Amino acid sequence: EINPDARAIAKQLDQERNSGHVRGPLHGIPILLKANIDTADRMQTTAGSLALVGTPPTMDSTVAAKLRAVGAVIMGKTNLSEWANFRSLFSSSGWSGIGGQSNNPYAIDRNPCGSSSGSGAAVSANFAAGALGTETDGSIVCPANTNGVVGIKPTVGLTSRAGVVPISHNQDTVGPHGRTVADAAVVLGAIASASPDPRDPATAVHRDKVFSDYTQFLDPNGLSGARIGIARSGVTGFSPKVDAVYEQAVEAMKNAGAVVIDPADIPDLSAINSSPEFFVLLFDFKKDLNAYLATRVGVPIQSLADAIRFNEAHADQELRYFGQEIFLLSQAIDVNDPATIQQYQQAVALDKQLGGAQGIDAVLEKYNLDAVVAPTDEPAWTTDLINGDHFIFGTSSPCAIAGYPIINVPMGTTYGVPLGISFMGTAYSEPTLIKVASGFEAATMARVEPQLLGKLPFDSGFCGGGSAAQSTAAAIKSSVPQHGMPDVRMARARRL
């Protein structure tokens, strides 16, 4: 969706600059927002769903307000995986009832991943200088990987989620896509909550670790002397093509002066991949979405239950390719049941322990690392609206469940489609990650501009490893035991 006021806003900002007034580092720069981020203007905020079409939000999201304050031109809203890919186990990333299917600018028949599909694809295709995405688990870094851009998934609480259609207050975060680490760092500084946002309690802690300018940490020699851990167990061996490019990236880091510790595996990765994350997200979604919907007026729904009924009533538009199994699982949870609440609290604590103290923090401390790296995801697969996504592997979950940051940087290509490497660190380690990520970018210059090909120049149907959602609806429902804990394997392959 194009902002109908974008030209007028840009003209006003040009006049301000000509008169000597510059609001900030993004003055006059076009920025796109994922369509689950509120703007109090003439644009819709829908999360891709027809159920949220109506009166626009009455208040800007905090991140949108911050962008306006530093002079950005909010040029429009980008398509996404509907409801940030938290509706169905059989979805196609980048599809929404409003926007249809987003495509990959490197090969239009291939998938842009999600759920920040349009944000990653638009920045890659030079539609804007930068874009905001959101991530619960993988939704900034996976589109960055498949669309060949930089994606910064910040520490939970570094950026405000106020006015953003939620999945989970435990894991949701807002972050930028940019074609370079520098571009993404500029946007990150613009949206970071250096002072607490009363609309988002997560922004009230560790203010001394949040900066308004992250470009100060850019360093083309950022790998020199940096201690980089090379994750291998559980993150390699899924794709020989990815592994080959990863090996080249490791050699490039060595050549750039990094102290490479190889291997430096993330502990308990198998436990992380079978963690109760999905249950936590289902529990949070029901409560957090209902709280968000209470802020919206003049739209068809006011609750998750309403959204389910809306989709059933408009199945020809909303359920034409896949269902709403995740909605049903979330709605089935009794968030007021004491036993379920206790189980939820234990699950949240276990997630943070597995991803944090026993996961990312453990490997960083064991080897005295500045960052640990891993391949981000597999190459872009051919979009398949019949069967849904073809995920093979992803490496975002440890940081997702801990609330820790990741920066994806392009590391190369295979058969013309991009691959990314993830730099992972502990909470609020964005300065260090930006330093080493910018050093890697300078050492490799691995990004290749997309050519907007209709398809790759060979018969390259993607032969993926299948999503974790190869079950019937009956099996999905039967996976919910007495207190609402579904089988985490049902959703492990989603990018949320």
Catalytic residue flag (residue 34): yes
What is the Cα–Cα distance from 380 to 142, expressed in whole angstroms? 10
* pLDDT, position 461: 40
Q: Is 55 exposed, middle or buried (0-12, 13-18, 19+ CB in 10 A)?
A: exposed
Q: Is residue 321, in this structure, part of any structural domain at all?
A: yes
Give the alpha-carbon dihedral of 419, 425, 428, 434, to 10 degrees: -50
Chain Cα centroid distance, residue 217: 22
Q: Is residue 204, in this structure, part of any structural domain at all?
A: yes
Show the DSSP H helices in 148-200 as ranges.
181-191
Tokens of 230: 């090379």
Q: Is residue 205, in this structure, part of any structural domain at all?
A: yes
pLDDT of 32 strictly over 80: yes
Which of 116, 117, 139, 330 is an active site residue?
139
pLDDT (tens digit per residue) in 57-112 = 999 999 999 999 999 999 999 999 999 999 999 999 999 999 999 999 999 999 99
Percentage of the chain surpassing pLDDT 70? 93
Catalytic residue flag (residue 286): no
Beta strands in 10-70 (DSSP E): 30-34
Q: Is residue 1, in this structure, part of any structural domain at all?
A: no
* pLDDT, position 457: 85
Region 361-390: what's the mean pLDDT? Answer: 98
Provide the domain count of the chain.
1
Of residues 183, 182, 81, 200, the one with CA closest to residue 139: 81
Q: What is the CATH number of the domain that holds 345?
A: 3.90.1300.10
pLDDT of 487 strictly over 60: no
* pLDDT, position 459: 56
* pLDDT, position 453: 96
pLDDT (tens digit per residue) in 114-138 = 999 999 999 999 999 999 999 999 9
Which of 49, 91, 102, 115 is an active site residue?
115
Q: Is residue 137, in this structure, part of any structural domain at all?
A: yes
- Residue 176, CB-side half-sphere exposure with 13 Å CA sphere: 27
Q: Does residue 437 contact residue 150 with C-beta atoms inside 8 Å?
A: yes
Percentage of the chain surpassing pLDDT 90? 91
Catalytic residue flag (residue 471): no
pLDDT class of 164 with cuts at 50, 70, 90? very high
What is the pTM assigned to this prediction? Answer: 0.94
What's the whole-number average pLDDT of the chain?
94
pLDDT of 162 strictly over 80: yes
Which of 34, 66, 352, 435 is an active site residue?
34
* pLDDT, position 348: 98
Q: Is residue 496, in this structure, part of any structural domain at all?
A: no
Q: Does residue 401 contact residue 352 with C-beta atoms inside 8 Å?
A: yes
Identify the domain containing residue 165 by its residue range.
Answer: 6-490
pLDDT (tens digit per residue) in 302-337 = 999 999 999 999 999 999 999 999 999 999 999 999
Q: Is residue 198, in this structure, part of any structural domain at all?
A: yes
Q: Is residue 495, in this structure, part of any structural domain at all?
A: no
pLDDT class of 495 with cuts at 50, 70, 90? confident
* pLDDT, position 314: 99
